[in-house]
Amino acid sequence: MSILVVGSVALDTVLTPLEEKIDLLGGSATYFAAAASYFAPVRIVGAVGEDFQMNQLEFLKERSVDLGGLQIRSGRTFRWTGRYGDDPNDRETIDLQYGVFAGFSPLLPDDYGASEYIFLANINPELQLRVLQQITAPKLIMADTIDHWIERRRGVLLEVLKGVHAVTLNDTEAKKLAGEDNLIRASKAILKMGPEIVIIKKGEHGALMVTGDSLFALPACPVENVCDPTGAGDSFAGGFMGYLHRTGDLTEESLRKAVACGTVMASFVVERFSVDGIRSLSQEDIERRLREFKGITWFEEVDPWG
């Protein structure tokens, strides 16, 4: 069984202090699928316009990504333009053109509804809710959201949260959703909204996972050159869910390992523009970085008075 991702396949224009790149392959579903495909087969549901060159997704097909749910519609593909400052966490959205995605309604192909692992990428929560209504036997549903939907579609978003097992959002969004200025209190408040797992993305400061019984935090995996942070969160989600699907294990220990896998996949993507950082990794590349990451985050039990 494949992981199902419902989200955008887009064309991005990225401006950094050093370079400007136009019409790069992007979109939440693209980044998620590229990362998750190293661990498990993936199915994409989304929409692109007639201007989109499908050969850009050939590398995903070669990695067992099923594009049967990707609609090609009359009109232009979803486009995002963003600018990053000297601080990679400083991102400004300059332009957003929904194109064919404005009228997108996710209708799952017949067998997609039986997917057990589902990622609802950052889209209108009304669309996320429509997907939930078509899912029949889920083991793990994770949703992503942003401040735009928290502010403008809060009621529907709260309905979505009642129907998912996990939610991922950044620290600012978590505080806004919960109405709390502390991440621990915010996470616990979000747990009461329905999810069993809350993952807070903190950019270069790593990720925090909160469940009803535990807290777990990891730093970001250090890299020498951060080129383009776009898609890091979706790549994290791909590594996280990909690992869980591969193992079929949703225990606390497995969830923590999944956070490590997600963190490592995000570290690859930021090193290059678009999905180029995770386009053609080897299994050895991923294993090596996981070992290195463990080496800088692991230490034996400390007796400070010994």
pTM of the entire structure? 0.96
Per-residue pLDDT at 90: 78
Distance CA(48)–CA(157), nearest Å, equals: 24
Per-residue pLDDT at 280: 93
Per-residue pLDDT at 265: 98
Distance CA(276)–CA(273), nearest Å, equals: 6
What is the residue whose two structure tokens read 């020498």?
Answer: 224
Per-residue pLDDT at 51: 96
The tens-digit pLDDT sequence of the chain (306 residues) is 799 999 999 999 999 988 999 999 999 999 999 999 999 999 999 999 999 999 999 999 999 999 999 999 999 999 999 999 888 777 888 998 999 998 899 989 889 999 999 999 999 999 999 999 999 999 999 999 998 899 999 999 999 999 999 999 999 999 999 999 999 999 999 999 999 999 999 888 899 999 999 999 999 999 998 999 999 999 999 999 999 999 999 999 999 999 999 999 999 999 999 999 999 999 999 999 999 999 999 888 898 987
Distance CA(304)–CA(306), nearest Å, equals: 6
Taking alpha carbons only, the member of 147, 146, 120 closest to residue 133 is 120
Sorted by where each starts, the structural domains of the chain and their CATH numbers stand as 3-286 (3.40.1190.20)
SS (H, E, C) the chain: CCEEEECCCEEEEEECCCCEEEEEEECHHHHHHHHHCCCCCEEEEEEEECCCCHHHHHHHHHCCEEEEEEEEECCCCCEEEEEECCCCCCEEEEEEECHHHHHCCCCCCHHHHHCCEEEECCCCHHHHHHHHCCCCCCCEEEEECCHHHHHHCHHHHHHHHHCCCEEEEEHHHHHHHHCCCCHHHHHHHHHCCCCCEEEEECHHHCEEEEECCCEEEECCCCCCCCCCCCCHHHHHHHHHHHHHHHHCCCCHHHHHHHHHHHHHHHHHHCCCCCCHHHCCCCHHHHHHHHHHHHHHHCCCCCCCCC
Distance CA(31)–CA(154), nearest Å, equals: 26
Per-residue pLDDT at 88: 77
Q: Which residues, other chains included, contact 211 with Cβ-Cβ below 8 Å and sequence gap of 6+?
A: 191, 196, 197, 198, 252, 255
Q: How many CA atoms lie within 13 A of 62 on its CB side?
A: 8
